[in-house]
Each structure stands twice: as structure tokens, then as C-alpha cells.
Amino acid sequence: MHPIQSISNPLILNELKTFPLQAVIWGIIDGNNQGELFELCDKSILILESQSSEPFVFIAGPLSLKGIEETIAYVSRFDYPMIYCQPKYHAFFLNKQFDFLLRVELQLENPPGYTHIQNDYTIEPILTFGVLQKCQGFKDTLNRYGTFEQFIKYGKGYVLREEDRIVSEAYADYIGGGYLEIGVITHPKYRSLGFGTKIVTYLTKECLTQQIIPVYSCHISNRNSISLGLKAGFSISKYYVLMVPNVGNTLGKPLLGWIKDNPEWDI
């Protein structure tokens, strides 16, 4: 595999538009977020979210067994790479000791109205390094954008305060292609009190005023996060699978049947 600066193949670009996590993909391609582009040995394209021990990885284009082996060798340096590719290739990742990770994506169904905030609380944008430094998402945000200046230029974030204490935070974890992937963190002492819903609703309204499509997604096991998204006016639009290492699942009959029908894949 070798690094590339951009993607010019229209077939690859069109395929990427069908993937989940659009804000992540185009945020990396457009240079808003930290990431790398590679061409694999079979001419397929790999997009890697860098600066994370648990990066998203996207593969588009006709993928060969050699390309899969090349991918696995490269991402083995990370603790928990999460790979999205066409489902027909899942069997070969499973055979290499990868497993399924199910995620859910929620699209905005009910545009938010007025966000009522109690008198003792305020919502403000993250505009200074000092404010971001006090946030629980400080390190992840800097890793995602590279520098605070990049975050101010390409990102978006808000905090809900009770006097000097930051109660809840909502971020544009990624912005790209006209989409925004929402991230939210609430202080443990203030959870289940509706503050996460309020800050997400506020960020959502800001997205709409700038004609950015907000998207909310998380692992299917994160029931609290899904509930928050639903309360904030989102509805479940799709489920999708990422391939992840070392969880210990086994091959199912449909996947084994696909292997049988593709004998050129000698595994």
C-alpha cells in the first residue's frame, strides 16, 4: 500500500457516498480531520482515521485477499481498528480472526424547537483553548483535529455550564461532505437528568442554521446513547457492521456459501 493525497476515481467516490459515517469519510478526505489515504495493492482505496488507538477504517473498490491481508497487517498496530467494507468481504476478515461490531445510525426526524435552560445553567460555544482544556473530551478532540486552531476552523463544540462546572459537552466529532457526526459527554453526576439531550438539541439547531446535516451514531450496545439521540429528535435509520479484531465469532453459513461460490479466494 502507498499513501495518496486525493481520490480521483469516480467509481470509488460514488461507492464512498453509500457508506455510513459520511462526516468521518469526507472530513478526512477534505482535510478537516486527522486521517490518511492509501491505495492498496489491488487498487482499492483505504481511508484511515489517524491519531486514535481505535480508528475507523474504510475500504472502497474491488478488494482482493491480498488487499485484505495488506490491510490487516497495517491496522494491527492499533488496539481496536473498526473496518467498514462491502459485506461480501466480511467472510475473509472473519477467517482472519476478526469479528462483527454492530452500530446504529440515527437521522434527524423532528427539528428541535426552543431549548429551555434553567436559570442556573448556560450554554456557550467552545471558542478558547482554556474552555476546551476543562472539557472531558479535550484529548479526543485535539487528537481528532490535530490542533486547537484546526478545531476552531473546522469543528464545532458547545458546553452546558452550571456556574464554573461543565455539566455536558456536545461536539462536531467530524464535519465533512455537508454532514456532522455528533459526540456528547455528560459529567457523571449529571447524567439521566436531561442535560445531554439539551446540549445535543442545541448543537442540532446550530447545524441546521448552517445547512449541515446532523447525524447521530453509536455502538448498538450503548443503549443510553441511543435513548439520548431519540429524545433529541433523531430516529433510527440504519444498522451497519464494522469488522473488528479478536472477539471470537465464527463464520456463518451464508458467508461460507459466498466463499464456496468464489473459489479464486484461496483461504
Domain with CATH 3.40.630.30 in the chain: 107-239
Banded pLDDT at 144 (limits 50, 70, 90): confident
User: Is 90 exceeded by the pLDDT of residue 251?
Assistant: no
Q: Write the pLDDT tens digit of every residue in 69-110.
A: 999 999 999 989 999 999 999 999 988 889 999 999 999 988
Residues 6+ apart with CB under 8 A from 41: 1, 64, 66, 67, 70
- For the chain, state the CA radius of gyration: 20
CATH number for region 107-239: 3.40.630.30
Q: Write the pLDDT tens digit of every residue in 176-226.
A: 999 999 999 998 888 888 899 999 999 999 999 999 999 999 999 888 899
Number of H helices, E strands in the chain: 10, 12
Residue appearing with cell numbers 453459513 = 253
pTM of the model: 0.87
* Distance, CA of 61 to chain centre: 20
CATH number for region 2-102+241-261: 3.40.630
